[in-house]
Amino acid sequence: MYLRNITKLTQYLNKFSPNSNVRRNISSTTKLFIPGAYEASGQTNVQILNKDTELGIMINGFSQVGFRLNNDFTVLGSMVIFPRSVLSWNVHDVSEITEDTLSLFTILEPKIDILVIGVGDRLDNFDFYKNLLPFMRKQKIALEILPTESACSTFNFLNSEGRNVVGAMIPPKTFRVSEDDELVSKMRYQNLYVKE
């Protein structure tokens, strides 16, 4: 493990995202405690996949600089996520998704079930996909191309089902933030009850 000064890192973070405190969350919501809530049989339960460590690595949130996983690690930059392992992916843009950058998935044994590609922002132009399609057909790899926001949750669900899924994610440049995300980010970094 490398112990290094964090200041450079925070500078890097701030450069990419001026509003770096806020982060889009995939699944975490604040737990509600309501006194007198129904607790007998037939009670409805919510199971949050990301909190179940047995199901494998999942993506808790993302921002412009990277992804937060459910094992308390924050990945910087693009990543390739396997059911229980993560690799860094040296791809920064959709145009760089080619046969070469996907070469790893063609030689894996056992063959992967599905490849979920998170392309970052929502796309209008799917030319890269047309170029990719014959190659993926030839290699017999199922593709799922989505904006990163939906790709993350798709990966989480497929992983929880125990499929041999691989996610190739590029962090988005823009994303929408809900009030809940702001609250969760605030709870993480600062005291909620202090005036800004």
Partner 1 sequence: MGKAYSSLKNPLKNFNVESRAHKVISQPKPIPAPRHKIEQDQYDRMLQEYPKEFEESLKKNEELDKNLKSVFVTSQDQNINIKQEANPNRPLPTDRSQVEPSLYGIKEPEPNKVPIGKVTLGNVLEFISKYQGDPKNYNAKVIADKFTLQEQTVRNILKYFRVFEVYLPQERTKTNAKFVGPSLPRVHIIKEFKKQLPKPDSEGKT
- Answer for which of 51, 137, 138, 188 binds partner 1 (CB under 8 A) is 188
CB of 81 to partner 1, least distance (A): 11
Choose the binding region for partner 1 from 36-44, 95-103, 116-124, 133-141 (rule: CB under 8 A): 95-103
The two three-digit tokens of residue 58, written as one number:
């999942």
- Answer for which of 26, 50, 70, 83 binds partner 1 (CB under 8 A) is 83
Residues 102-131, mask of contacts with partner 1 (x by CB under 8 A): -xx-xxxxx---------------------
Angle at 164 between CA 64 and CA 90, to 5 degrees: 35
- Residue 28, interface with partner 1 (CB under 8 A)? no
Report the Cα 28 to chain-centroid distance in Å: 13
Which residues make up the interface to partner 1 (CB under 8 A)?
1-6, 9, 54, 56, 72-77, 80, 82-91, 100-101, 103-104, 106-110, 159, 162, 164, 188-190
